[in-house]
């Protein structure tokens, strides 16, 4: 296979990658056959998966719009993957043209491609760092500059914390990030959940064990606890389509089929 110019040397193109699988679900082109094969197997087990992933991206868009309208101009997107199909900087700048964004991901493929996409963007930065090494992440110059100005920062942890195992203590990681944020900052979380479709939780987690990013689903109580120190914005932690829908009719009769739970909190 001819290696695309956005793929760094040494990348195993035969092993599925979570960021590229997600890109495939969204209808993107930055993926390989191994990613598409894994995605097809997942879809065979759970036909709604592409719809769920798009619902997650739609939540991200609504959350960024809400915060930009509230005056936020600084966004820290951790676990950003490949910023295509309505990424944070595009959504935020449709309301706040001066919005600054730092994208952080531990996947060198996602980082390499993100840098290519954003090389001409003076207000966006891309950092290769791991949420698990949170002190190192906060010490990166791009991140330190974003949060060090003292202006409120929107911390985006969208579809990333379910890749942190219980043993790696996601609550501690979020608390360290929280304590580094300026007053008035915000936290945005979406998270794969055990609720809604418990019949699918086991098979989907088993499938992700094949990747370098195994999945840990959590229930509403556990996800709500991640907002410790933040005041939840109405309607709280809800299924993806239920968080401030642009059209109430778009929620549908079974929002629980989207499985993911999401919420936004303001630093109190």
CATH, residue 227: 3.40.50.150
Residue 25: inside a domain: no
Residue 24: inside a domain: no
Integer CA distances (angstroms), 156 to 12, 30, 59, 64, 237, in order:
28, 22, 11, 9, 15
Alpha-carbon distance 193 to 9, whole Å?
A: 35
Residue 31: inside a domain: no
What's residue 209's pLDDT?
57
3: exposed, middle or buried (Cβ count in 10 Å: 0-12, 13-18, 19+)? exposed
Residue 139: inside a domain: yes
Q: What are the residue ranges in the chain where pLDDT is below 50?
A: none
Alpha-carbon distance 125 to 142, whole Å?
A: 7
Tokens of 202: 């086991």
What's residue 83's pLDDT?
87
Percent helix, strand, coil in the chain, to 5, is 45, 15, 40
Residue 175: inside a domain: yes
What's residue 116's pLDDT?
84
Residue 14: inside a domain: no
The C-alpha angle with vertex 212 and arms to 138 and 4, in degrees rounded to 5, equals 90
58 with 243: CB under 8 angstroms?
Answer: no
Domain that holds residue 189: 47-267
| pTM for this prediction | 0.87
Alpha-carbon distance 35 to 20, whole Å?
A: 6
Into how many domains does the chain fold? Answer: 1
CA 37 to chain centre: 22
Q: Encode pLDDT of 151-205 as tens digits.
A: 999 999 999 999 999 999 999 999 999 999 999 999 999 998 877 655 555 555 5
Alpha-carbon distance 13 to 5, whole Å?
A: 13
Residue 27: inside a domain: no
What's residue 8's pLDDT?
60
Residue 73: inside a domain: yes
86 with 97: CB under 8 angstroms?
Answer: no
Helix (H, G, I), strand (E, B) or coil at 262: strand
Tokens of 193: 């959940």
CA terminus-to-terminus distance, the chain: 52
């Amino acid at each position: 296979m001819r290696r695309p110019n956005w793929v760094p040397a040494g990348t195993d193109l035969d092993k599925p990658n979570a960021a590229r699988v997600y890109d495939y679900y969204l209808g993107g082109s930055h993926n390989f056959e191994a990613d598409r094969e894994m995605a097809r197997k997942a879809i065979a087990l759970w036909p709604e998966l592409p719809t769920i992933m798009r619902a997650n991206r739609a939540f991200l868009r609504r959350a960024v719009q809400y915060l930009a309208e509230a005056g936020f101009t600084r966004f820290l997107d951790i676990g950003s993957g490949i910023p295509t199909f309505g990424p944070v900087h595009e959504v935020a700048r449709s309301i706040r043209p001066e919005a600054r964004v730092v994208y952080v991901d531990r996947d060198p493929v996602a980082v390499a491609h993100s840098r290519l996409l954003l090389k001409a963007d003076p207000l966006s930065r891309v950092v290769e760092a791991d949420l698990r090494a949170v002190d190192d992440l906060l010490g990166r110059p791009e991140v330190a500059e974003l949060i060090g100005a003292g202006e409120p920062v929107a911390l985006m942890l969208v579809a990333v914390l379910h890749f942190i195992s219980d043993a790696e203590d996601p609550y501690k990681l979020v608390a360290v990030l929280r304590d580094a944020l300026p007053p008035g900052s915000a936290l945005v979380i979406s998270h794969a959940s055990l609720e809604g479709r418990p019949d699918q939780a086991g098979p989907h987690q088993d499938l992700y064990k094949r990747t370098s990013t195994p999945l840990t689903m959590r229930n509403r109580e556990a996800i709500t606890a991640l907002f410790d120190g933040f005041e939840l914005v109405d309607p709280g932690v809800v299924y993806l389509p239920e968080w401030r829908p642009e059209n109430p009719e778009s929620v549908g009769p079974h929002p629980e089929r989207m499985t993911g739970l999401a919420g936004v909190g303001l630093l109190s």
